[in-house]
Amino acid sequence: MQPVPDEVKVFVEKVTTEIINPIIAIIFAGALLYMMYGLMVFILNAGDESKRADGKRHIMYGLIGMTIMVSVYAILEIGLRTIGVSSSDIPKEITPINL
């Protein structure tokens, strides 16, 4: 397998840092807000079972969305580290130790 050229590594790092990671963060924030909305519906309608069920659905879909976004980020990081691209989003102090 041939090593990845440095120009490609820099390009992939910039695209990931400037485009993909902000999109993942925005979608994650949207899922968090959706879950919070469901929690609010669930709490404010404690007496109405149908609205509580609606709130539970919102909470569940929000949690599923956040789980998917964390998984997408993890898969992206695994792929980037496989080709040797460093992630500039993560401070160097908290990156794992290479054994």
Contacts (Cβ under 8 Å, ≥6 apart) of 41:
51, 52, 54, 55, 58
Range from 15-19, 85-89, 92-96 that averages highest in pLDDT = 15-19
Structure-token pair, residue 11: 């390009």
Report the pLDDT value the prediction gives residue 1, as an integer from 0 to 100. Answer: 67
Q: Which residue is listed with tokens 């149908």?
A: 50
Chain segment 37-74, per-residue pLDDT in tens: 999 999 999 899 999 999 999 999 999 999 999 999 99
Averaged pLDDT score across all residues of the chain: 86
Residue 99 above 50 pLDDT? Answer: no
Report the phi/psi class of residue 3: left, alpha or beta, with left for phi > 0 and alpha for psi in -120 to 50: beta
H helix intervals, 1-99: 6-15, 21-44, 49-83
In this prediction the pTM is 0.78
Distance CA(37)–CA(92), nearest Å, equals 35
Q: Report, as an integer, the average pLDDT of 64-90.
A: 85
Q: Which residue has the higher pLDDT, 17 or 98?
A: 17
Distance CA(19)–CA(76), nearest Å, equals 13
Report the pLDDT value the prediction gives residue 57, as an integer from 0 to 100. Answer: 96
Helix (H, G, I), strand (E, B) or coil at 57: helix
H or E element, residue 2 = none
Distance CA(64)–CA(83), nearest Å, equals 29
